Every structure is written in structure tokens, then in C-alpha cells.
């Protein structure tokens, strides 16, 4: 279940937090697995600018939103400049090579096509370096946006944030008047100095609070339920699941639930993981299978066919991530395509 009104509220909260900046939305990877089409249309009234990672994602998004500005974070491949223009996609130029190719392409076409320029301010992932700034192709470029990305924004104390900020200020000064963007979800909460003219939240739209203090303000937009396929009564000493790693210490009721690692429930979730029925905790027993897992339903009223909660009130996807030793991004983007999805306006 995806709560579209929660996504809208989260966006409104972020937009207000970074009030002087335009609040774009990053909806790459099928909006982190949540559904690009639905997320884009639920934000259509307030968001003018979207970011995706791949040109192909941009083409898809273009078919849902003919009017919006769409930036493509990976830029384009050598054979793709025409593709970008055809679908009105704005590449983020990440290397000197891309800057030159775009220049050559525009010269040949006899007109300027909009592009954004990324600076590497310390993450060594995407973007041109300080030395690259001397290149003629860069000097001639008239980007519609300059941007960079923070490596440690989820750790506000880390000095790398200030260093990257200083570097971004220095590099963007070479393009006076061009809108600037540095902050993704976590960066927004580093404060106004990081907002510039545009912020680019992704995960925070679904309620993942990057920093402790913001947890109450963002609303979790994702719920996930799975069905109990079987319930069995077992005796003391009975073992459960692959590897028979769990052994019952007494008589118990065990439910087999129809969700497994192929659906994005990591195998590491076996250790200390649990599903929920309301406020009742149902600990995972033994290993997670591909399509199912077992939980302890001893002493509950649960029956075969009932639905239990994987992600909900008692357990957000961030908590599942912590439990499984990963991060919320990985849990969200790993959720499989087998679920029936409901998009709702909850509250
Ligand atoms: C993915 C991404 C974002 C959004 O990041 P979140 O942490 O999900 O807010 C913003 N900018 C760039 C360059 C990205 O790659």
C-alpha cells in the first residue's frame, strides 16, 4: 500500500523546510520501487522538476508528464543525444567527455539544447573536476543548472559536508546566475546554506528520515501486508525451514507466510526479524525462503488466510533495514514486483 497523500505531505514539508529553493523530486528506479507513474502524478500539482537516472526512465516519465522538466542524472551515452532531445530530457553532464560531446552535438544541430553540469566536489563519483573547469568546452557551456552531491549528508557532524559545500561554492562561482543544487534528502536538513536554488529529495518523500530529529515530521508512505498460507501446531524439538536452523523449545503454533527473499525480504531478516498483527509481534523462525517465511503465532487468534503486516505502524521500512543490517534505500528498492499494489489517499 502506497499512501499518496503522505508523499504529498512529505514533499510539502521538505519544500517548506527549504523554502527559498525549488523542491524537485528524484524518482529514479521506478520511484525507488514505489511506482514512478503514480508518484509523478501525485506530485504533479506542486513539482515542476523531476530527476531520473537513465535516459530510458526519462522517456517513460515523459509519457506521463508532457510538461515537466526532466533531468537525467547519468547524462547520455554517445549514441543518445538525439534521444534526449526527442523526449525533451535534460542531461546532467558528468565528465569532460560528455560536455564536449554535448557541445559538438549542439553545434551540429545549430542550436543550444539545455544541459545541467555536475561538479565533483569530493565524492569521486560523477562530475567534472576543478582542473576540468579550464577546458574551453566547459567555459563555453551555458548550463541551466549546476549541481553536486554530498557523500556524508546523513552524518551532519562530518567535516566532509562543509568541505564539499566550500568546493561547490567555489566551482559554481564560475557560472554566475545559474541555479545551483547540492542537497538530496539528508542534505536538506543540514540547513539553509545547503539549499541554494534547488533541492533534490528522493527517499524522504516516502518518509525515511535521514536524521534523528526529523523522524516525527515525515510520514511513512509505505505499507506491506502478506498472507498466512498455512498454520501448523508443532511439538517441542520440531525444526523449521531450510537448514533446520530453528528448533522449537516447546509446543507452538507456526504460520507460513507467503513472502520471501524474492519479494525483497532479505535472508538476514531471519535474525531478530518479525512480522506484526496490530500490536502483536510475530518473530520470524528459521531461515527466509524464496517465497515464504515462518513466524511464531503461538497464543494469537490468527488463522490461515489472515493478513499480517510486514511494513506498517509498528515497523517502518527503515526499521526493517536496521534489523537486516542494511539501509532503507535497499529495502525499498528491493521490494519485488509480485505484490498487488494499492495507491491510496490515507491521511
Ligand atoms: C539519488 C539521488 C538523489 C536523491 O537522493 P535521496 O537520498 O534519495 O534524497 C539526489 N541527487 C542525486 C545526484 C542522486 O543520485
Confidence of residue 33 (pLDDT cuts 50, 70, 90): very high
Cα 1 to chain centroid, rounded? 16
Averaged pLDDT score across all residues of the chain? 95
- Structural domains for the chain: 2-206 (3.20.20.10), 224-344 (2.40.37.10)
Give the C-alpha separation, 198 to 207, whole Å. 20
Q: Pocket around ligand 1: residues whose beta carbon is below 6 Å from it?
A: 26, 28, 73, 149, 184-185, 200-204
* Contacting residues for 199 by C-beta, under 8 A, at least 6 apart: 14, 18, 21, 22, 23, 24, 181, 183, 184, 187, 188
Residue 214 pLDDT greater than 80, yes or no: no
Residue 171 pLDDT greater than 90, yes or no: yes
Residues of the chain by 3-state class (helix, strand, coil), percent to 5: 35, 20, 45
Give the C-alpha separation, 151 to 154, whole Å. 8
* Cβ(176)–Cβ(229) below 8 Å: no
pLDDT value of position 261 = 94
Burial 227-250 (b: 16+ CB within 10 A, else e): ebeebeebeeeeebbeeeebebee
Residue 212 pLDDT greater than 70, yes or no: no
pLDDT value of position 194 = 98
Q: Of the residues 23, 25, 26, which should be mutated to test ligand 1's pocket, given the most ligand atoms within 8 Å of the CB?
A: 26
**Which ligand 1 atom is the nearest neighbour of the CA of 53?**
15
* Contacting residues for 129 by C-beta, under 8 A, at least 6 apart: 120
**Which ligand 1 atom is the nearest neighbour of the CA of 147?**
13
Could you say which DSSP state residue 242 is in?
G
pLDDT value of position 324 = 87
CA 92 to ligand 1 center in whole angstroms: 13
Burial 12-41 (b: 16+ CB within 10 A, else e): ebbbebbeebbbbbbbbbbbbbbbbbbbbe
* H/E stretch holding 217: none
For residues 30-35, average pLDDT: 96
Could you say which DSSP state residue 193 is in?
G
CA 37 to ligand 1 center in whole angstroms: 18
Q: How far is CA 48 from CA 18, 26, 66, 115, in A?
A: 15, 12, 11, 16
pLDDT value of position 215 = 61
pLDDT value of position 87 = 98
Give the C-alpha separation, 11 to 204, whole Å. 8
Residue 246 C-alpha cell reads as 530453528
Binding positions for substrate are: 125, 290
* Cβ(212)–Cβ(36) below 8 Å: no
Give the C-alpha separation, 331 to 314, whole Å. 16
Among protein residues, the one with the nearest Cα to ligand 1's atom 11 is: 184
The structure's pTM equals: 0.94
Amino acid at each position: 500500500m502506497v499512501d499518496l497523500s503522505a508523499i504529498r505531505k512529505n514533499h510539502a514539508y521538505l519544500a517548506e523546510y527549504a523554502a527559498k529553493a525549488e523542491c524537485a523530486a528524484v524518482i529514479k528506479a521506478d520511484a525507488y520501487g514505489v511506482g514512478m507513474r503514480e508518484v509523478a502524478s501525485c506530485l504533479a500539482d506542486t513539482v515542476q522538476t523531476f530527476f531520473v537516472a537513465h535516459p530510458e526512465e526519462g522517456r517513460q516519465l515523459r509519457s506521463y508528464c508532457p510538461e515537466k522538466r526532466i533531468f537525467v542524472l547519468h547524462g547520455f551515452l554517445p549514441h543518445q543525444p538525439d534521444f534526449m532531445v526527442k523526449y525533451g530530457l535534460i542531461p546532467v553532464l558528468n565528465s569532460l567527455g560528455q560536455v564536449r560531446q554535448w557541445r559538438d552535438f549542439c553545434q551540429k544541430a545549430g542550436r543550444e539544447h539545455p544541459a545541467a553540469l555536475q561538479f565533483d566536489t569530493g565524492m569521486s563519483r560523477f562530475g567534472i573536476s576543478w582542473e576540468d573547469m579550464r577546458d574551453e568546452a566547459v567555459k563555453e557551456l551555458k548550463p541551466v543548472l549546476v549541481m553536486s552531491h554530498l557523500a556524508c549528508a546523513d552524518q551532519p557532524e562530518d567535516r566532509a559536508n562543509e568541505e564539499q559545500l566550500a568546493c561547490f561554492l567555489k566551482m559554481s562561482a564560475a557560472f554566475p546566475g545559474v541555479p545551483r543544487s547540492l542537497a538530496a534528502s539528508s542534505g536538506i536538513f543540514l540547513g539553509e546554506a545547503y539549499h541554494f536554488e534547488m533541492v533534490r529529495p528522493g527517499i524522504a518523500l516516502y518518509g525515511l528520515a535521514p536524521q534523528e530529529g526529523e523522524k516525527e515530521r515525515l510520514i511513512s508512505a509505505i505499507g506491506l501486508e502478506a498472507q498466512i498460507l498455512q498454520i501448523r501446531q508443532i511439538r517441542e524439538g520440531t525444526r523449521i525451514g531450510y537448514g533446520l536452523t530453528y528448533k522449537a523449545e516447546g509446543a507452538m503454533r507456526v504460520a507460513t507466510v507467503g513472502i520471501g527473499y524474492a519479494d525483497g525480504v532479505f535472508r538476514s531478516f531471519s535474525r531478530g526479524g518479525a512480522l506484526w498483527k496490530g500490536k502483536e509481534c510475530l518473530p520470524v523462525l528459521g531461515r527466509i525462503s524464496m517465497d515464504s517465511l515462518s513466524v511464531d503465532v503461538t497464543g494469537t487468534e490468527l488463522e490461515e488466510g489472515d493478513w499480517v503486516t510486514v511494513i506498517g505502524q509498528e515497523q517502518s521500512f527503515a526499521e526493517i533495514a536496521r534489523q537486516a543490517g542494511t539501509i532503507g534505500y535497499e529495502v525499498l528498492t528491493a521490494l519485488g514486483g509480485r505484490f498487488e499494489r494499492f495507491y491510496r489517499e490515507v491521511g
